[in-house]
Structure 1
């Protein structure tokens, strides 16, 4: 049952037009909600209290229907229903949203303000002016979900292969990544949503399915009105830095493959245990980085004709 259907049923309950089965359903729901430990802020509790009081005042001072006296039972019933209307909205909101939880954090920037946020997984988010972002204090063990409500935001996502990262937008478009950096621009008063990939690869989708898979330096525009997406190549102006402090070569290769959407092969699996300490920028080409890494370990590499596959060997 949707929140709107729940409200309609509760209105019938208040108007004493609900069937015995419907009355029982509402009372069971209310009893269940009473048993739950719903955590609310002081401001939210005050708002709920004020709304309950206002509705009860209207109910108590309204004209009695057909001479009926306003009894204590009706008062309790209305109080329960009014509180339930407010509480069920909170409960439905919690259950139907992957990002929202009791531990949710909402960050809003002013018209001239920028903010930098480090998420619990180490991912870095840069919010532009007039942006609104919602995220949990701690991500789930098997997934990472956040919601971009408004604005322009740059994401530098920590690579975690077993915990994909998804950005949900108010335009109904989702951006799913494993480990990369990209920018999303989505304002409610603008009919277009934009996604720019700086490094790595992202999958962009809406309710109908996948719109596109973008790689480094690709730019997608999505028309919110007709649901169409267009892709073009650009020269990204943003770069990220990534460092390795004693990481083994297998970990380094995994990171490079996601940053540049390339394939790197080792002709000897034992090479994957070699330790690497170095810092790089996505401004550098894969060849330049591999040349440095191979020099550190006295290795060599070659590239395929399309420069998408690299082999490292002694």
Structure 2
């Protein structure tokens, strides 16, 4: 849809003058970001309310005759922001207006700590939105504009999902990756430092990326390319009194391998150490084994590592 038509459609939708077919177009776009079912009357009311609030914050009080066109021009961007907000909070009715944290960065990077303990390095001129509290089933954030490096805390029960204004989303359990999505750039980049991530767009999986992989999505052609990242960002891997079982689970996700403990190993062995992801899996296991006087072996599949006494 061309920008002019999108702006006209948005205006009709927000003020309740859109036809049934036009409303379906907006609902269809919204549903493409993983919402099952159509917008309720309450959600539409919140959509309009949020749009007004955002526009009022972005525009100056000037004459109405001069305000109308800038309002429409800003509205297309606001639609993506508001729908992204509803995507973040759709499991908590009424939350969008009050519990959302929006961080807009200036000319320098900023380190953020999310409610679950995950760390985000928000790059310059970037905006990230996230709820004050994640739900019990999943963790959602919305990169409205710019770039951010996510070091996600591992949580087997709750996946972590990052949405963008283009409909592209990244989903993980616990890993670290870079996501670049600037409105004025033609491509979106996802580069994985540790673990494994899934990249999808409008419900369709584009690729499963492992450590060192990157995906470049081309906005114009709606196509993508997969390649190896030659400059993988190093992230810290710290253990503070973690049991050897917890260590094994974390390393399995960081390196995307299977890690098992032989019955001869005391699963309650405690580990306090500071490493980083520049180490290979074999180097990491060698250090862990030295700490606890253990050994490791590689199974025939070459993807399973077994620690034993």
Same fold (TM over 0.5): yes
The unaligned stretches of length 5 or more in structure 2 are: 1-9, 20-40, 58-62, 65-78, 90-94
Aligned to 1:192: 187
Q: What are the residue-to-residue correspondences of 1:287-298 with 2, within 5 Å?
A: 287-298=282-293
- Kindly indicate whether residue 2 of structure 2 is the aligned counterpart of residue 7 of structure 1: no
Number of positions where the alignment pairs a residue of Structure 1 with one of Structure 2: 251
1:146–1:266 CA distance, 2 compared to 1 (3 A): same
User: Following the alignment from structure 1 to structure 2, what is the Cα–Cα distance between the partners of residues 113 and 174?
Assistant: 25
Check conservation: 2:187, 2:219, Cα contact below 8 A.
yes
- 1:171–1:193 Cα contact (<8 Å) kept: no
Structure 1 ranges of 4+ moved more than 4 A = 2-6, 92-95, 304-307
Task: Map 1:230-309 to 2 at 5 A.
Answer: 230-268=225-263, 271-304=266-299, 307-309=302-304
Give the Cα separation in 2 of the matches to 1:249 and 1:113: 39
1:42-61 aligned at under 5 Å gives the runs: 44=53
> In structure 2, what is the equivalent of residue 85 of structure 1?
none
Number of the residue aligned with 2:157: 162
**SS at 1:188 equivalent:** coil
RMSD between superposed Cα atoms in Å = 3.4
Q: Distance in 2 between matches of 1:3 and 1:95?
A: 18
User: Is 1:214 aligned with 2:196?
Assistant: no
* Rounded Cα–Cα distance in structure 2 between residues aligned with 1:305 and 1:128: 43
SS at match of 2:266: helix
Alignment partner for residue 88 of structure 2, among 75, 98, 114? 98
1:104-183 → structure 2 map (5 Å cutoff): 104-110=100-106, 112-183=107-178
Instruction: Go from structure 1 to structure 2 and tell me whether the alpha carbon gap of 1:202 and 1:3 turns closer, same or farther (over 3 Å shift).
Output: farther
Greater gyration radius: 1
Displacement after TM superposition at 1:3 (Å): 8.8
TM-score normalized with structure 2 length: 0.71
* Secondary structure at the counterpart of residue 234 of structure 2: coil
TM-score with structure 1 setting the length: 0.70
Report the CA distance shift for 1:296/1:285 in structure 2 as closer, same or farther (over 3 A).
same
